[in-house]
Structure formats: structure tokens, C-alpha cells
Structure 1
């Protein structure tokens, strides 16, 4: 039976074989990772890489020489799709089954970091390992289920048949922009008001004028800086909760959790500054 693979994995393999250079596959992975970390839909990522692959095959030059670094090419694709109104964001973790799988993987990674620290400090007793595992499960599954609940907000609306089509469209667009695009309430209200003003003058419905809420949302850039600020705040809060455990005395597990959460908080804060400087 042939080994199954995803379209993205097949695309990375295609870069490896295009010129017989493994570094081309590394470049493609770097570009795809940068886009996926911005929640770009995987199908759109594959499409962007396919265009680059065609050029690499035709010219037999390295993608780095043709397009710059993987991250630079990812930035260029993101801006291009945004300008063309073709930017599609992935729904993220939207099913509870996905949330369990992702949460367990996050827990494993978090537990591995704690276990390494405990082993290095010769503190890897049964009680310490069980405690590290429990903390990892709480953090991993809690973060994953929280993300799933947030991502499903725009799908959870149960609007009655008595709600007018234009009002339904506005509500769905509001939920998409607030959850998946991380926009502020003020920005979303402005977008909705402009759309309603436009259709009031045209005499058409908003869906006739702008398409579905998801299609119209694709015209706007996600507020990556605001999302990063929220993430930074969340990790800072976790760091404070972990640090509280140190009040009664020094503990390596609590110290490790505090350090990891502080690192993530600083990382997201830097991302927020970078996105703000770039106008995103």
C-alpha cells in the first residue's frame, strides 16, 4: 500500500527533488512554517509554494537566490494575498477531537522540558515526575481547549429565521473578525458600518455586494500585533500563577514552569512589537 502523505509534505518533498538539494526543502519548510504560524490556510500555503517550485524547476536556481529567505518569501506572499483579497485563514483547532490531540502534544513537549530540568537537577523522583505530568496536562489541554472554544465562536451562533439576512451577515462577520482576525471591537464596528452604508446607497444586500462574511473578511489583515499582545498577557498570567507556588519555598517544577511561561510571554511581546512596526 502506498504511503499516505499530506499535500504540504508532498510539496516539501518536491522541493527536495527539484534540484536534488535538500536545502531547498529546508527553505520551503521555513516559508511554510512562517505562513502557518500566521494561521494561513494550508491549501493557500501549498498554492504559494507551488508557484515558487515551478520557478525553481524552470531556472534550476535555489529558491533563496530567487526569492530571498523562506521568511522573506512568506512575508511577500502574505502581503500579496492580502492586497489581492485572497488571504484565507485556517479555522485552527475547531473540533474537540483536534483539541485533545493538539493538547496532548503540547503536554508532551511541556513535560519533556520539565523532565529534562528535573533530571539535570537530580530531582526526578516519582512525586516530582507525577507533578510535572499533571501540570503539563493542565497547561497543554487547557490551552488547546481554550483555543478551540475561541476558534468555534463564529460557528456557534444559532440565529433564528426571523433575523434579517443583512443582520445575520453582519453578526457572522463580526464574530469572524473578532475571533479569527483578533480585531478590536472599535475596528469591527467601523468595518460593519462602512459596509452597511455602502449597501444602503447601492440598494443591494450585503452578500450581493461583498460576498459571504468569510469572503469579505479576506479583504482585511488580521491584527497580528493585538493577537500577540493577548498571548503575551496570557503567558505572563501563567508565569505569575506558577511563581505563586514559590512563596512557600523553592521548587524546581514551579521554577521551570515560571521560566518557560516568561520566555513565551517575552517572545510574544517581541512579536507584537515587530508586527506593530510592520503595520500588522
Structure 2
């Protein structure tokens, strides 16, 4: 049981399937389907609703879900595809975060960055540089938190800009956030490091920052609980506000789609296609131009010809090359920016490698590794196609 996924939604779904026929294996089928849907980015409350309806079908037919629906993975994929084609906003994007998720992510990243900075200090000791590892100051202690907050802001800017602007503009906006954010972080931590000269600790104490930020993350998660939600409860979600900021689709908007004029239809379809991340702007322009030409030829409005713009956007086939190509460019730009900032800090410090230089250097290496990983995926997709 400790290896099985847990949660109130899973418990309710398993109970519904077990009560339908009194067969334990039915609950196992439901568990596999639930996991597949969740990993397909379907919201957990929607997953529970879909599976509860399936349990009702099992109860009425008194047949196993495998006989009625087939393999749980295939059934789950079919359900996710139907939801996408309907254009419903029932899919999670883990990078679209509300205030609670943003704070927890910041503290979690701060714990991870603290571990990286400790390793860089340890490496500095092993290499045997002249100055040795840097002592722990207030500026050093706050650096992982501030850098993590800046990374979360970069993610927020990216996710909110990608549906509104062309991709080069999105990259430029994120790069501007990195440059301005790095300057802001430096303006905070450098004076604190100087003022805290009398309150220094030995470099080894920096390892305590890892459990400290992790504990803060745990405490905030316990004290700042997400509102309870039930099946279909859209308003009770903790990140509802964050989703509204990126023009999330609501059921009422789906109903209102029947009254969309062509201009609004194109605007919403363009935003939905950009949020997919696997459509380039020229391809989006070509697809929408083709749709408008087809509607003009038939003499029908776009909404009548193609349905809701979000549903139309979900139906279009994917281009597997676009996402790895874009992410290669995105991570490469961020890696180069952090490398430039590290070199600038090193030059300002007389080419002495201290913690102020190690921080952007570590991030440059991390983003560089992600860029290489995406480039390999891009190459594999190119070879297979």
C-alpha cells in the first residue's frame, strides 16, 4: 500500500468502483486510469468526476471496467483526447502558479540551490584556492531565496506572455527579467554581505540552509492550505486567480462560443494555439488564414464551421520538433545571460571566484545542461522524422 498513490480523490474513486460490484480488481483498474489521467495533466477534480461516472456505468452493467472500457491506459487517453477536443479548461499546467504555489516553489528551489552552493564551496576547498570557501553572511543566506524568487518570476512571465506575444518577444521579456532581477538581487545581497562582516559564520554552516528552506517550505504548506475542492469545483482551486491571468477558459466561455464573431474567434484560437507551445507563429498564421478562407468559402461563421476556438486548437496535429527547438533556444539564452553575469562579477572582483560569482555560474551550468538536453531531444525528433 505504501507504493500506491494516495489522496482523498483516489480513495473516493476506489471506493466507488469497489461498491459498484464488490470486486477488488475494479479498484485496481480505476487506480491505473487515475494515474494515467493525472500524468496526462488532467485536473484531479475532473479525473475524479470522470471516473465516478465510469463507476456508475460499471454498477449499472455489472461488468468489469476492463470488459466495458478496455485497458485503463487506453481508456484514459481517450478521455483526455475527448476533453481536449471539447476545448475545456480541465488541464493542469504545473508552471502556471498562483501565490501559494509560487511561494512553495520558491522555498523548494531555495533549498536545492543552497545544496548547490554548498557543493561549490566544498569544491572550492578541495581545489585549494588561495582565499578558500567564503564565510556565511546574511547576504549569502538570502541569495538562494532571492534567486529562486527571480526564477519563479521568469516562469510566470514566460507562461503569461507566451499566449500573447510571438516567441522571440517572449524570450526577450524573460531575458530582461533575468538582467533586471540579477541587478536587484545584487543590490540586496552585496550590502548585506558587507554590513554583516562582524556576524560571519564558517562556510560549513551553509549546509544548514538546505534543511532550513525545506522546513520553511513544509511549514508554509501546512499553514497555507489550498482551499478544499470537490469534483468540478472550479472556483475552489488555489491557482484560480493565476489561471484567470492567462485567459483560462471557463465552462461559461464554452457556452458563449456559439455567439463569437470571427474576430474574437481568431483571437481566442491564436491564444490557445500559442499556449500549446508546439506551434510556431508562422504556422499559427497559416492555420488561421486557412480556417478563415474555408469559412469564407462556405459562407458560415468560424464558430459554426469549426466549433469553439479552444477545441479547434486542441484538434490540430502536433509538431514534435517545435517544443524542443524553442526550449533549446530559451535555455541557451538564459545560460548565456547567467554566464555573462558570472564573468562580469568575476571581473569586478579581480577574477576572484567567490560566492557572488558561483551563484550565476551554477545557474549558467544548470540552464546550459537543460539546453543540451533539449537540443538532443530536438536532434532525435529530427532524425526520426
When the two structures are superposed, what TM-score results if normalisation uses the length of structure 2? 0.50
Distance in 1, Cα, partners of 2:367 & 2:95 = 24
Q: What residue number does 2:370 align with? A: 264
Q: Distance in 1 between matches of 2:157 and 2:118?
A: 30
* Structure 2: 5+ residue stretches without partners: 1-5, 19-23, 123-132, 166-245, 249-259, 347-351
Aligned to 1:160: none
CA distance, structure 1, for counterparts of residue 247 and residue 370 of structure 2: 29
> Superposed, which structure 2 residues align to 1:18-37 within 5 Å?
19=24, 27=32, 30-36=35-41
- How far residue 9 of structure 1 moved from its aligned partner, in angstroms, is 4.9
Between the aligned partners of 1:46 and 1:269, the Cα distance in structure 2 is: 37
Q: Give the alignment of 1:163-182 within 5 angstroms.
A: 165-182=261-278
Q: Which residue pairs with 2:126 in the alignment?
A: none
Partner Cα separation in structure 1 for residue 26 and residue 308 of structure 2:
43
Question: What is the DSSP-based 3-state SS (H/G/I as helix, E as strand, rest coil) of the residue aligned with 1:218?
Answer: helix
Q: 1:116 to 1:28 in 2, by over 3 A?
A: farther
Which TM-score applies when normalising by structure 1?
A: 0.65
Structure of greater relative contact order (alpha carbons < 8 Å, 6+ residues apart): 2
When Rg is computed on C-alpha atoms for both structures, the one with the higher figure is 2
SS of alignment partner, residue 148 of structure 2: helix
Alignment of 1:144-183 (within 5 A): 144-151=156-163, 155=247, 165-183=261-279
- Which residue does the alignment assign to 1:252? 358
Greater mean deviation of Cα atoms: 45-54 or 132-141: 45-54
Q: CA 1:29–1:152 in structure 2 vs 1: closer, same or farther (change >3 Å)?
A: farther
**Residues 3-152 of structure 1 mapped to structure 2, 5 A cutoff:** 9-14=7-12, 19=24, 27=32, 30-36=35-41, 40=42, 45-46=47-48, 59=64, 66-67=71-72, 80-81=81-82, 85-86=85-86, 88=88, 90=91, 92=93, 98-120=97-119, 121=121, 125-126=136-137, 127-151=139-163
Give the unaligned 5+ runs of structure 1: 1-7, 157-163
CA distance in 2, matches of 1:24, 1:252: 50
Question: Are residues 138 and 42 of structure 1, via their aligned partners in 2, closer, same or farther at CA, if it must alter by over 3 Å?
Answer: same
Structure 2 CA distance, aligned partners of 1:88 and 1:270?
33
Match of 1:241 in 2: 337
Shift of the 178–50 alpha-carbon distance from structure 1 to 2, 3 Å rule, reads same
Range 27-36 or range 201-210, more displaced: 27-36
Aligned length: 252
| Distance change in 2, residues 1:87/1:81 (3 Å) | farther
Q: CA deviation at 1:115?
A: 0.9
Partner of 2:312: 216
Q: CA RMSD in A?
A: 4.5
Cα offset, 1:35, TM superposition: 1.3
Return the offset for 1:138. Answer: 1.1
